[in-house]
Structure 1
Amino acid sequence: MQLTFLGTSSGVPTRSRNVSSIALRLPQRAEVWLFDCGEGTQHQILRSDVKISQITRIFVTHMHGDHIYGLMGLLASCGLAGNPSRIDIYGPPKLSDYLQACRRYSQTHFSYPVKVHTVRPGMLFEDDNYTVHCAPLTHRVPAFGYRVSEKDKPGRFDVTRATKLGIPSGPIYGRLKRGEVVELPDGRIINGTDLCGDPQVGRSFAYCTDTIYCDEAVELATDADVLIHEATFAHQDAEMAYQRLHSTSTMAAQTALAAGVKQLIMTHFSPRYAPGNSIVLDDLLTEAQAIFPNTVMAHDFYTHTIPRRKTKQMAGVSS
């Protein structure tokens, strides 16, 4: 799981930061899942290692322009970049109406299926490898945070050991690889997990923007490997954050601390903290790290690979 930040500014782009978009790259599946799609996102993709032709899912947090104005242009370009078989889009109410109006008035026709899913709190998607959940956030319009969780995978199956135990090859191996308990023809009971190495623990990340500090974000991010959280304002501007229902750097850090995540990545910064002003972005980073030390500040094209974790060594099997 590799995250590439395509835009890290809030409200409007700056010379160094575009508006919101993050790409989740799943190399083993040759897929890209996009989170938000602000104006200019497809230009940012062209400047990155992300491939437009691999986009299969797009998750939209809310209907503000700095999160959706690039969506229609990107969808129109996707058909020209490799004719995807299908793109699924997830987002709040009115997203489908917005896209239908864009298509109607621009007379745009997609050469591939586009399915829009109106999200509700809970699980949105599940397949053999991943689940995606969402939760409501606290903002001026309906907004949702997303969590992507990779399912645990069994460790490497020890074929040599299975052979020494006299386990016949064939369908039984497949069951043992999946960690099932199998009764052999001779009556022995073999637990497949005892013939596998350390399981690969699934990774996870949560994406929370736009929102003020809220319990729903904490619950969504609980125990995640990475929390991506907006930090629009410095702590000094907390009153403005409350008025606009955005987070400060300290709110992002408090969310990470309460959720028990392993790393916090801050994004969605107000342009008011440009170099030369009385408060700059490094000050926001210092504020957050005072509460949650394992905090980094994203910039456009920043890439973060979520490392795998392992559980303790499994116990052996007796023959």
Structure 2
Amino acid sequence: MQLIFLGTSAGRPTRSRNVTSIALSLPEPHCGFWLFDAGEGTQHRMLGSKLKLNKLERIFVTHLHGDHIYGLPGLLSSRSYFEGAGPLTIYGPPGIRSYLEQTFELTGVHLGYELHIVEIAEGEVAADERYLVEAAALEHRLPCFGYRITERPQSGQLNLKRLAELGVPAGPLFGKLKRGEDVTLECGTTISAADVVGQPHPGRVVTILGDTRPCENAVKLACSADLLVHEATFAGGLEEKAAAYGHSTFTQAAEIAKAANAKRLVVTHFSSRYDDEEVAELANGAKAIFERIEPAVEMAEINVPRLPLTNS
């Protein structure tokens, strides 16, 4: 799993930072990616990355402020020009359907693929055999959500040497054993999956929050996350100003990560008043609260490595 920050600026773009968008690249066998928010210019940023719109599978919108959604209509329209662009699902707060459908109607857009729009509430948002996505409401000036992406545990590796010793033929029986099912050979011998399958790989958890004041749901969504992405619009000491606009400071983001026992914190959504050097200094100053804090860098790729095997 890998995050790519396509935009890290709050409110409006700057010369060095675009407005909010984060891509989550998925490992094999998916090899696709999901997008979290799409501020104006997101598709332009993608042109300078390895991301291709025909590999985009899902878009999760945190809220309907323009710096998080104004890039959606153009991006969705351009996706029609990519060969192999399959169905796409957009998840977002109530109003996202009306925004997109009216935009398409007024501008005469006809998409060349199937688009599904899901207006979400708190709880489970999406699920498949590999991932679970949950949402909870945050505290902002508009209805806003944060997302918790949980990778399901992956089964361990087959012990091919032991399988050969036991006389298990390659084929469907391998699949059953890998799924944890015991099998019986033609000779009547029963093979226990626990004897020939290694330890499972625990899944990873990535939490991506929208704009928010510090709140209880931010801590819940980020609980023990391998990576937390939290906004840090203002410098520590400007908590009153941050609260008035529904935002957080670098200090508050670090406090949320600490309270949630997150393993790593990447802050983003920086006010245009701060240049890149000042952003780095502010993040460094928050390390007294949470050591593993780092500022998102425009177009930077953040790897979320697979956890080591659990002991049994």
Q: How far apart, in 1, do the equivalents of 2:263 and 2:140 lie?
A: 25
Instruction: Tell me if the contact between 1:250 and 1:291 (Cα under 8 Å) persists in the aligned partners.
Output: yes
SS in 2 for 1:200: coil
- Answering whether residue 45 of structure 2 is matched by residue 18 of structure 1, we say no
Instruction: Tell me if the contact between 1:60 and 1:68 (Cα under 8 Å) persists in the aligned partners.
Output: yes
SS in 2 for 1:271: coil
Matches within 5 A, 1:67-82: 67-82=68-83
> Counterpart amino acid of 2:138?
L
Match of 1:127 in 2: 128
Match of 2:41 in 1: 40
Match of 2:240 in 1: 239
Q: How far apart, in 2, do the equivalents of 1:266 and 1:295 lie?
A: 7
- TM-score, normalising length: structure 2: 0.94
> Which shows bigger deviation, 39-48 or 193-202?
193-202
TM-fit CA distance, 1:182: 4.3
> Which shows bigger deviation, 206-215 or 45-54?
45-54
- Answering whether residue 92 of structure 2 is matched by residue 94 of structure 1, we say no
Q: How far apart, in 2, do the equivalents of 1:107 and 1:169 lie?
A: 55
> Counterpart amino acid of 1:281?
V
> Which shows bigger deviation, 215-224 or 67-76?
215-224
Per-residue CA deviations over 1:207-231 (Å, capped at 9, x if unaligned) read 0120011111111111111000100
Q: How far apart, in 2, do the equivalents of 1:251 and 1:184 lie?
A: 59
Instruction: Tell me if the contact between 2:8 and 2:297 (Cα under 8 Å) persists in the aligned partners.
Output: yes
Q: Which of 278, 289, 293 is the equivalent residue of 1:291? A: 289
Instruction: Tell me if the contact between 2:227 and 2:262 (Cα under 8 Å) persists in the aligned partners.
Output: yes
TM-fit CA distance, 1:82: 2.4
Alignment coverage as a number of residue pairs = 311
| Sequence identity (%) | 45
Per-residue CA deviations over 1:34-68 (Å, capped at 9, x if unaligned) read 00000000000001121122111110000000000
Q: How far apart, in 1, do the equivalents of 2:65 and 2:270 lie?
A: 15
Per-residue CA deviations over 1:97-127 (Å, capped at 9, x if unaligned) read 0001101111111111111001111111111
Q: How far apart, in 2, do the equivalents of 1:142 and 1:180 lie?
A: 45
TM-fit CA distance, 1:27: 4.3
- TM-score, normalising length: structure 1: 0.92
TM-fit CA distance, 1:163: 2.6
Instruction: Tell me if the contact between 2:122 and 2:134 (Cα under 8 Å) persists in the aligned partners.
Output: yes
Match of 2:221 in 1: 220
Match of 1:5 in 2: 5
Instruction: Tell me if the contact between 2:201 and 2:310 (Cα under 8 Å) persists in the aligned partners.
Output: no
Instruction: Tell me if the contact between 2:54 and 2:85 (Cα under 8 Å) persists in the aligned partners.
Output: yes
Instruction: Tell me: CA distance 1:240–1:204, structure 2 relative to 1, closer, same or farther (3 Å).
Output: same
Match of 1:302 in 2: 300
> Counterpart amino acid of 2:40?
E
Q: How far apart, in 1, do the equivalents of 2:36 and 2:94 lie?
A: 16
Q: How far apart, in 2, do the equivalents of 1:106 and 1:83 lie?
A: 24
Q: How far apart, in 2, do the equivalents of 1:241 and 1:189 lie?
A: 63
SS in 2 for 1:206: strand
Instruction: Tell me if the contact between 1:211 and 1:246 (Cα under 8 Å) persists in the aligned partners.
Output: yes
SS in 1 for 2:86: coil
Matches within 5 A, 1:187-226: 190-226=191-227
